[in-house]
Structure 1
Amino acid sequence: MHHIPTARRPRALDDVPGWFQPVDQDLFGVLIEATGPEPGDLAEMGCYLGQSAILMGRHLGPGDVLTVCDLFGDETHGSYSRRGTLAYYRKRLTRDAFEANYLAFHEELPRIVHGRTVELAEELAAKSCRFVHIDASHQYEDVSGDIDIARRALRPHGIVALDDYRTEHVPGVAAAVWEAVFTKGLRPVCVSPAKLYATWGDPGPFQRALRGWAAERTDRTVGEDTIDGGTVLRIAPSKLPPPRGARRVAQELLPPVVLRAVSKALP
């Protein structure tokens, strides 16, 4: 096992820099486990400093492999982002930083492909994966290709998680995602504020797992929509009551354990 200086070791997932929201942390866990007990690998396209990869690593079964692919700020492998972001990634994102963060939570590193995600077309065996996270390039052509790679790599009832599917500064991602839904057979399972989760199999079992999970939570809301005849769940953090009369509303709506925590924060 690699040695990491104690002073720099992150102690919790939120200590690792990134944009991996708590609701998506929940959804990763629920959906990966819902892929079933059979062995199956996990893959991530674009891992930044390791937040989501660390969580994915917690759901590996015996014999499962986690493969992560990233440029790690190295332009020599090709440019993914617009010029304005390249300097930021070169400064903050290094392979050493990713490895140190990952090893703070796991004894062994995942399989690392240091390069463009197109290399995964050869690196991931067909139908070998049960979960693939796409969060690499924001360019339409790249994301469309990444989706094609995920489709080939996923087993029939696997899940693909697609980041930035509705973010205004990266319209190419949305174009590739919805193209896959309407022309490549991709079937949405649910959406969060940041990610769309989908399958080329049956969304029903995954949606039942999500409803069961949400029934035990007071901090998540579940809505439902229909797209082209198919059900899509909307999952987001629940919102606290407004400040005016908040204590009275909380007393009426919240269970005791949650009420005690909320009451401490109310005037």
Structure 2
Amino acid sequence: MSETAVEAAVHSAPLKRDDIPGWFFSLDRAAFSHLLSAQTAAGVTGDILELGSYLGRSAVLLGDHLQPGERLTVCDLFDSEAGDADNAAEMNMSYRKTLTRSAFEANYLAFHGELPEIVQAPTSVLADGRVRADSCRFVHVDASHLYEHVAGDIAVARAALGENGVVALDDYRSEHTPGVSAAVWEAVFTGGLRPVLLTPMKFYGTWGDAAAAQAVLRKRDWPAEGYTVDEDTIAGARVMRLNYQVKGPIQRSTSRRLALELLPPVATKATRRMLRTLRERRAAPPLPRA
């Protein structure tokens, strides 16, 4: 998508949720919804906190699950200046041109009647206690990728979560976010964070009963929805893994095979390259609709 198209998408009112730019994909949307709905069904109440909201794609879904008396708080710099040079460089590289508070608010209000509580500041300010201890049932962390910041965000999440509350941590395994990986696994091996679920993009954990959260997830028929379910053991603890099912190889029709065989060698190679490129584009994860 061109830069002009990106700016148009950001500043136009979304007609559907997928119109909101961002990196919040279908598998994690399903996992968020399942965990939050299960909490509500079990009578678990509490606020929801999001650290790093970009343009609201995940915040809109979190708002869907608010029950009477619950509050959603989102914290993001939006179009404010970063507090340090490293964070400023990260913002300039990734989303400085598109991220504004007004765009977030417009996107959120397209699907909800009122805004969440917005803290426009570095996520580190939440360590001052403005989010009441043990008040949240779900925390989503998707802010800075720098180790020191992520470690601080995890500490904020731990203080905010109530018993058996769940934290979802984004980009825990991407090659360009080693700081997130370091902070997440440090929290597991030295900070008591128990893995619940791993997806290609997010780590889900709890400082409470991980087995109970996994039991809730197993009640859903994930393969019927196009996902794979696996399990691993990490330091003696079981953890679930969800991923997208890989489609089998495409079977060529007889006429298509014959056409390729009859083409001159140069034309055959060019045709196969074109078809391979098209298949790779279809198989690739969707780009942010930004």
Which band: TM-score by shorter chain? 0.7 to 0.9
Greater than 3 Å deviation, 4+ residue runs: 76-82
Distance 2:139 2:177 in 1: 20
Distance 1:82 1:112 in 2: 21
Partner of 1:102: 108
How much is the aligned-residue C-alpha RMSD, in angstroms?
A: 2.0
Of residues 21, 34, 37 in structure 1, which corresponds to 2:38? 34
Deviations 1:105-164 (A, max 9, x none): 000000000001111122210000000000111111111011011001000110000000
Partner residue of 2:126 out of 110, 120, 124: 120
Contact in 2 for aligned 1:191/1:233 (Cα 8 Å): yes
Cα 1:227–1:117, aligned 2, differ >3 Å: closer, same or farther?
A: same
Give the secondary-structure state (helix, strand or coil) at the position aligned to 2:31: helix
Match of 1:24 among 28, 35, 44: 28
User: Are residue 204 (structure 1) and residue 197 (structure 2) matched?
Assistant: no
Pick aligned residue for 2:250 from 240, 243, 251: 243
Structure 1 segment 188-199 matched on structure 2, within 5 A:
188-199=195-206
Please, what TM-score do these two structures have when normalized by structure 2? 0.79
User: What's 1:184 paired with?
Assistant: 191
Percent identity over the alignment? 52
Describe how 1:76-155 pairs up with structure 2 within 5 A: 77-78=83-84, 81=87, 83=89, 85-86=91-92, 89-121=95-127, 122-155=129-162
Task: Give the whole-Å Cα distance in 2 for the aligned partners of 1:83 and 1:244.
Answer: 47
Structure 1, unaligned runs of 5 or more:
1-6, 247-267
Q: Could you list the runs of 5+ residues in structure 2 that have no partner in the other structure?
A: 1-10, 254-290
Which amino acid letter does the alignment assign opposite residue 205 of structure 1? A
With over 3 angstroms needed to count, the CA separation of the structure-2 counterparts of 1:65 and 1:111, relative to structure 1, is: same
> For the residues of structure 2 that align with 1:234 and 1:156, how far apart are their CA atoms?
23
Partner of 1:166: 173
1:265 equivalent in structure 2:
none
Q: Which deviates further from its counterpart, 35-44 or 156-165?
A: 35-44
The aligned length equals 241
Larger radius of gyration: 2
Deviations 1:181-230 (A, max 9, x none): 00000000010000000000111121112111135733111000000111
Structure 1 residue 44 displacement after superposition: 0.3
Query: Is contact 1:74-1:90 (8 Å) kept?
Result: no
